[in-house]
Amino acid sequence: MNIGIIGFGYWGTNLVRNFANLKDVKLKSVADERAERKSALRSLCPAAEFTASADDILSDKEIDAVVIATPVFTHYDMAKKALNNDKHVLLEKPMVSKTDQAKELIELADRKNKLLMVDHTFLYTGAVQKMKSLIDSGDIGNIKYFDSTRINLGLFQPDINVLWDLAPHDISILNYLIKEVPYSVQATGVSHTNNGIENIAYININYNSGFIAHFSCSWTSPVKIRMMLIGGDKKMILFNDVEPTEKIKVYDTGYELKTDEDKKKVLVDYRTGDIYTPKLDTKEALAVMAHDFVSSIINGQKPLSDNTSGFEVVRILEASQTSIKNKGREVVL
Amino acid sequence: MNIGIIGFGYWGTNLVRNFANLKDVKLKSVADERAERKSALRSLCPAAEFTASADDILSDKEIDAVVIATPVFTHYDMAKKALNNDKHVLLEKPMVSKTDQAKELIELADRKNKLLMVDHTFLYTGAVQKMKSLIDSGDIGNIKYFDSTRINLGLFQPDINVLWDLAPHDISILNYLIKEVPYSVQATGVSHTNNGIENIAYININYNSGFIAHFSCSWTSPVKIRMMLIGGDKKMILFNDVEPTEKIKVYDTGYELKTDEDKKKVLVDYRTGDIYTPKLDTKEALAVMAHDFVSSIINGQKPLSDNTSGFEVVRILEASQTSIKNKGREVVL
Amino acid sequence: MNIGIIGFGYWGTNLVRNFANLKDVKLKSVADERAERKSALRSLCPAAEFTASADDILSDKEIDAVVIATPVFTHYDMAKKALNNDKHVLLEKPMVSKTDQAKELIELADRKNKLLMVDHTFLYTGAVQKMKSLIDSGDIGNIKYFDSTRINLGLFQPDINVLWDLAPHDISILNYLIKEVPYSVQATGVSHTNNGIENIAYININYNSGFIAHFSCSWTSPVKIRMMLIGGDKKMILFNDVEPTEKIKVYDTGYELKTDEDKKKVLVDYRTGDIYTPKLDTKEALAVMAHDFVSSIINGQKPLSDNTSGFEVVRILEASQTSIKNKGREVVL
Amino acid sequence: MNIGIIGFGYWGTNLVRNFANLKDVKLKSVADERAERKSALRSLCPAAEFTASADDILSDKEIDAVVIATPVFTHYDMAKKALNNDKHVLLEKPMVSKTDQAKELIELADRKNKLLMVDHTFLYTGAVQKMKSLIDSGDIGNIKYFDSTRINLGLFQPDINVLWDLAPHDISILNYLIKEVPYSVQATGVSHTNNGIENIAYININYNSGFIAHFSCSWTSPVKIRMMLIGGDKKMILFNDVEPTEKIKVYDTGYELKTDEDKKKVLVDYRTGDIYTPKLDTKEALAVMAHDFVSSIINGQKPLSDNTSGFEVVRILEASQTSIKNKGREVVL
């Protein structure tokens, strides 16, 4: 199988390194409009051709699968062309910037019988895999809330706001871990630049069952926080991604509600117990993702981070954007 | 000056200890309807009388000032009676449960020429005092955001939700540090008990200048987080109240916006520099507050935590409550 | 049973509070040569008499048991007098300053059939009790090393060096957890004051089996560290006493040695696994210790922190002192 | 200038990457006796030749400078041969395993007028450079103690013990920061394997002024600690190398000694103040070291990490080894 990668910036470099190391695959070409990236490619992967034109890859008959790591506003056109040219497509997150585009691409991929996958790398980390197995086993109980903070002094993106930049990670993890379908979204945000692009934003996602998800995103924090709390009625999980090894802690903490008939008030029984810090798989998530892309093509199976996941992330981001522009009004999904 | 304290529970015990140690003051009586609290008072402050009836204190001619540390729904009636009986009043936070009540009490205190003060203890901590002086000195620059997280496995209150329980601390700090008047409030929350009292809630407070404040409150977190981020355009402050001594860190971190005329895009200059962890005053905040109450009465001056502060907290809580009940709709203040 | 406490300073205050709360016991008198401590006693425990003379307590016929919380150089004389006057004795740590004195007191207590106990409070903490049960259960395997760091900016003691001040805690824990008898001691220390009293010191305790214990003590650290590592060949324990709740972590970490016959070198199999943070009992250790003293007297049983433990601590401190004065020479016990 | 690197293992890989990126230098050959390392070199630095024989590099007339990253017992022979063949030499730490060998190599390099440098990489880190400038400026005052802990679950080395593996970092930093010449060394250690190679060891270094240095090294800790405390009589430094960015904290903490003439006892005035966390240079230390090697050759100047530093480290390690074998006896340097 021949692979082409379009976009050889910061993330593209990681993709090149991982696809170059993959078995059963040849990284044939890499495209980046900045001609000066040619020498970087030569030292990283001398066997791959460099081109300044994405079209060279999109129209290359020998290329079976295309990885697209360019700014999000280019995703739709490139992916469409690639699919029309009978290539499998891996899109970086977020998939596209509009739900309609996502839907159209998914239908096109179905018609063409090609794999259209979205790279939500986090789903392949040892930490998320561990949380998935903990939740699926029933150990955590019924999940009551999900609260994620992803803030640091980050690069202000010129074309997308902080939600489209940072929240795809957390929303894709949420959707992967929680099966319930969200009901509505509320979001607020503020821009401290004169281009109106939000650098701080908050999202609430509401569910019929009373489960609630909250996201806090910022490019303007002096400290780097990557923290997720997931509370079940049996146990609770803390995922602290800035910890080098002890990223997941499972707290045997909870409360039980009892009805006090006479006094007609809620009695809450608290419980705090042991903490369990599981060992995590330390394989590089991007390598596992790249392997999933290739093996899903070969075996004709659905990848873990599939295009439904990509679509759902776009749907929630789009609704959040609408809510922000309407001063936090609830947007039913 | 003779003092009476009404409510001798967890917090009332701290109040008794501090008022008993205060100079120029006599703690004359303590009231609590639970008669069994009498022995606890005898061992803590043998000189004070115990009564099971708040009215004994409210109508005691010899008592000059009353401290009210009972559930919030009782505050209005008790404070009104105390003021009408020509006593100075210190109310625990939150002041009352309705803006109208707050206004009425403030006017009554004015007419009676008595001090009506609200105990926002946090304003008297070394940490908040240090932040106040840093911000007032101009070192932090124009404040752009305020983000506070106050979560732990907390006691579910039977009569008030998590916002009324936890947010008064953070809102009073916000109002103390930031002079700009808020424009509107949005809040969401969820109850995981069958009494409909929210145990998780989020508030956004919006301002005309683009400054934004966000609060995250929960009684159902497995970990205790007490963290506040305040971002200026010169420096940023992290207030981590669970740290035993290094509670305040000042980051010489920021970004400057430059306009790139040709490319019509925002250029951001990032700066990360040294961190400064100031030594903080370690006097017990409650002792300083108690002293402020007494000396403000004696000297006829305005206390640091005055009834305007109390009123503003109630106003924002009330608006938040309205927003929660309306699915996060913006409530203009 | 009537109790007398001699020494009403910082630690004596804690003792008074705990013995005053104990059932089946009356705290009859408290002695402190500083007459001004009388008023402090009156507010803390109005029922107890105050005296400026220790002898009033030591010769009081009505007093059954004496708690001695004075400087260590006074312990021997006071305890001897108390035992001769047929009183049970609880000595603060370190028991005495010489092994001979410890031996003499133990023999005297035996002859008088009185309890002579030493207050190594740490043995009664939830953390040490948890480590004891983990080690005794065999979960940790054969213990290979014990490494303790106890440093902070501490009060320079005028009469004893940092070892006699801080190391009794750690040595008593070591002796409680590990059954093997130590073989020899080496210690080094340095004094940065002109009185020659060491403010930094290190001890090594050697054992025939290859087990090793190391202690690091300092009054001149800018940070407070209270950390103990205990390594077994199955698991390892980290005891971090400055953590508010997560004090004990059990690491499923280890290595297995294999002999590679051909290459004649050691092969080491590493293993890192899950971490387990057990919930700890949070009862105040001093209250449990006080109860142990009284119930051991009543029931005629051996307390957990007995005088053998007290003797062993003195023996190791004395040998360490000798080693320091001989430039770190090994002192066989 | 043509460079050859001998030893292409874990650290050799870092050296190849850095020397390959250096200007004014050509990485001509890399030697490793494991022939299978050839392909790794081809992908990392296709321009460099691979050879399985160190002698190919040591005798290559075109090579001007040799970097030796092989096990320490091979250093002496290789460096001697390289110098005799008129090549500049960079030796990995520790320089050699005997003081005599170090002396002989230094004299040989002098006679041959070639640079003989030792790679103590840590001296080139932003953290050590910051500590150096803080101490040299006088801000910290007279340095009273140096205490370093370097422990983790480490690879048991088959030929050298934990001191020779880990302590060179800390000893080279000590010698770089502190000008006073050490007087004596004491060390203890224990081997938990049957080859007698110590996996835990402690060193004390004594100085005439009362300054003391202590090192704790272990391959058998469940947690990774890289911590250094440096106490001056004005301020104190904490260097915590496992922190991602806030590695250096300067505590405005200290004590002043006062003589109380009457009571003939030491009075200590404590001071705790602000903490300052300076921003550190984040250039890769190994790149700066490689550049220092090359520019010292070109400009005929002494490098920062020179062979005197290398010699002193070996001298202290050798004395420590002697002390360990003599049960901790003091070894005068």
pLDDT digits (tens, 9 = 90+) for D79-118: 999 999 999 999 999 999 999 999 999 999 999 999 999 9
Per-residue confidence (pLDDT) for residue A105, from 0 to 100 = 98
Q: Cβ D246–B275 below 8 Å, yes or no?
A: yes
Pairwise CB contact (< 8 Å): A274 & C276? yes
Q: What type of residue sits at position A145?
A: Y
- The pairing of strands C248-251 and C275-277 is antiparallel
Least confident range from C99-108, C153-162, C293-302: namely: C153-162
Selected for mutation to probe chain D from B236, B245, B279 (highest D CB count within 10 Å) is B279
Q: Which amino acid is at C268?
A: V
Query: What mean pLDDT comes out for the span D40-66?
Result: 94
Q: What is the pLDDT of residues C259-301, one digit of tens each?
A: 655 555 556 677 789 999 999 999 999 999 999 999 999 999 9
Q: Strand runs (DSSP E) across D261-311, as ranges?
A: 265-271, 275-277
How far apart (Å, rounded) are the C-alpha atoms in residues A77 and A6? 13
- Site from D202, D253, D262, D275 to mutate, C interface, most C CB atoms within 10 angstroms: D202
Dig out the tokens for A259 from the structure: 């009805």
Tell me which residue in D202, D238, D330 faces C327 most closely, judged by beta carbons.
Answer: D330
Residues of D in contact with A242 (CB under 8 A): 244
Residues of D in contact with C158 (CB under 8 A): 265-266
pLDDT band at C247 (very low <50, low <70, confident <90, very high): very high
Report the distance separating Cα D21 and Cα D28, nearest Å. Answer: 13
pLDDT of residue A142: 94
Q: Inform me whether the pLDDT recorded for A29 exceeds 80.
A: yes
- What does the alpha-carbon distance between residue B121 and residue B117 come to, in Å, rounded to a whole number? 11
Q: How far off is chain B from D142, nearest CA to CA, in Å?
A: 23
How far lies D149's CA from each of A130, B84, C192, D163, in Å?
A: 33, 67, 22, 12
Query: Does the structure show a pLDDT above 70 at B101?
Result: yes
**What are the distances in angstroms from CA B66 to CA A293, B32, B63, B172, D196?**
71, 13, 7, 22, 75
* Interface-testing mutation among C17, C18, C42, C43, with chain B (most B C-beta atoms within 10 A): C43
**Residue D222 pLDDT exceeds 80:** yes
- For residue A88, the distance in angstroms to the closest alpha carbon of chain B comes to 34
Q: Could you tell me which chain C residue has the CA closest to the CA of A275?
A: C277
Angle at C281 between CA C275 and CA C285, to 5 degrees: 125
Chain A, chain C: beta-carbon pairs less than 8 Å apart: 26
Name the band, by pLDDT with cuts 50, 70 and 90, for residue B270: confident
Residue D233 has pLDDT above 60, yes or no: yes
Contacts of B252 in chain D (CB under 8 A): 279
Grade residue B44 by pLDDT with cuts at 50, 70 and 90: confident
Closest in D46, D242, D244 to A46, CB measured? D46
pLDDT above 90 coverage of chain D, percent: 85
**Residue A109 region, left (φ>0) first, then alpha (ψ -120 to 50), else beta?**
alpha
Q: What is the mean pLDDT of chain B?
A: 94
pLDDT of D262 > 90? The answer is no
What pLDDT was estimated at residue C213? 98
Closest CA to D72 of D103, D93, D102, D100: D93
Q: Can you tell me the distance from the alpha carbon of D150 to that of D226, in angstroms, rounded to the nearest whole number? A: 5
Task: Please tell me the predicted confidence (pLDDT) of residue C263.
Answer: 53
Check residue D263 and give its pLDDT. Answer: 53
Q: How far does CA D147 lie from the centroid of its chain?
A: 16
Show the beta-strand stretches assigned E in chain B: 2-6, 26-31, 49-51, 65-68, 88-92, 116-119, 143-153, 184-190, 200-206, 212-218, 220-232, 236-240, 248-251, 254-260, 265-271, 275-277, 331-332
**Weakest-pLDDT range from B290-299, D44-53, D127-136, D168-177:** D44-53
Chain C contact set for A274 (CB, 8 A): 276-279
Q: Which residues partner with A118 through β-bridges?
A: A91
Q: In this predicted model, which residue has the larger pLDDT, B153 or D264?
A: B153
DSSP D85: T
Contacts of A261 (CB under 8 A, 6+ apart): none
pLDDT mean across residues, chain C: 93
pLDDT category, A33, cuts 50, 70, 90?
Answer: very high
Q: Which chains touch C (3 or more CB pairs under 8 A)?
A: A, B, D
What crossing angle do the helices spanning C10-20 and C285-299 adopt, rounded to 10°? 60
Check residue D215 and give its pLDDT: 98
Q: pLDDT tens across D160-172, in order?
A: 899 999 999 999 9
User: Does residue B261 surpass a pLDDT of 70?
Assistant: no
Q: CA B56, CA C94: separation in Å to the nearest integer?
A: 53
All residues at 6 or more sequence positions from B120 whose CB lies less than 8 Å from its CB, including other chains: B93, B168, B169, B172, B173, B176, B305, B309, B310, B313
Identify each DSSP E strand in chain A by its residue range: 2-6, 26-31, 49-51, 65-68, 88-92, 116-119, 143-153, 184-190, 200-206, 212-218, 220-232, 236-240, 248-251, 254-260, 265-271, 275-277, 331-332
Q: Do C275 and A272 touch (CB under 8 A)?
A: no
Among residues of chain B, what percentage have pLDDT more than 90?
A: 86
- pLDDT tens track for A61-80: 999 999 999 999 999 999 99
- Per the CB < 8 A criterion, the answer to whether C199 and C163 are in contact is no
The per-residue pLDDT for C165 is: 95
Q: How confident is the model at residue D128 (pLDDT cuts 50, 70, 90)?
A: very high
Give contacts of C277 with chain A, Cβ < 8 Å.
Answer: 249, 274-277
Instruction: Report residue C192's pLDDT band, with 50, 70 and 90 as the boundaries.
Output: very high
pLDDT at residue A264 above 60? no
Average pLDDT value for chain D:
94
Whole-number average pLDDT of chain A: 94
Q: CB distance C274–A274 less than 8 Å?
A: no
Q: What distance in Å separates residue B263's CA from the closest CA in chain C? A: 51
Chain A residues touching B142 at Cβ < 8 A: none
* Cα separation, A254 vs A234, whole angstroms: 6
How far apart are alpha carbons D84 and D66 in whole angstroms? 12
- Residues above pLDDT 90, as percent of chain A: 86
d(CA D220, CA D226): 14
Would you call D272 and B279 a contact, using CB atoms and an 8 Å cutoff?
Answer: yes
- Give the per-residue pLDDT at D98: 96
pTM comes to 0.93
Cβ burial A89-127 (10 Å sphere, 16+ → b, else e): bbbbbbbbbebebbeebbebbeebebbbbbbbbbbbbbb
Task: For residue B205, count other CB atoms closer than 10 A to its CB.
Answer: 24
- The pLDDT assigned to B144 comes to 96
| Minimal C-alpha gap between A285 and chain B (Å) | 28
pLDDT number for residue B259: 61
CB A115 within 8 A of CB A108: no
Q: Work out the minimum CA distance from C246 to partner chain B, whole angstroms.
A: 11
Identify all chain D residues contacting C273, using CB atoms and an 8 Å cutoff. Answer: none
State the best of C150, C214, C256, C326 to mutate against chain D, taking most chain D CBs within 10 Å: C214
Predicted pLDDT of residue A63: 97
Tell me the backbone φ, ψ of residue D129, rounded to 5 degrees.
-60, -40
pLDDT band at C328; cut points 50, 70, 90: very high
For A5, residues 6+ apart whose C-beta sits below 8 A from its C-beta are: A12, A15, A16, A19, A27, A29, A30, A31, A57, A66, A67, A69
pLDDT digits (tens, 9 = 90+) for C163-181: 999 999 999 999 999 999 9
- For residues B66 and B89, the answer to whether their CB atoms sit within 8 Å is yes
Q: How many CA atoms lie within 13 A of A144 on its CB side?
A: 25
CA distance D78 to chain B (A): 45
Amino acid identity, residue B211? F
Q: Of C46, C242, C244, which is closest to B46 when you measure between CB atoms?
A: C46
Inter-residue long-range contacts of A266-269, CB under 8 Å, 24+ positions, other chains counted: A266/B156, A266/B158, A266/B193, A266/B194, A266/B195, A266/B197, A268/B155, A268/B156, A268/B193
Q: How far is CA C123 from CA B154, C129, C166, C181, C245, in A?
A: 31, 7, 15, 18, 17
Q: Stretch C211-229: mean pLDDT, rounded?
A: 96
| Closest residue on chain A to D47 (Cα) | A43
Segment A111-161, tens digit of pLDDT: 999 999 999 999 999 999 999 999 999 999 999 999 999 999 887 887 889
B279 vs D276: CB contact, 8 Å cut-off?
A: no
**Cβ-based neighbours of D293, under 8 Å, separated by 6 or more:** D65, D67, D88, D90, D115, D117, D119, D303
- φ/ψ of residue C83, rounded to 5: -65, -45
Q: Which domains does chain C have, with CATH numbers?
A: 2-119 (3.40.50.720), 123-283+314-332 (3.30.360.10)
What is the enclosing helix (H) or strand (E) of D317?
A: helix D307-325
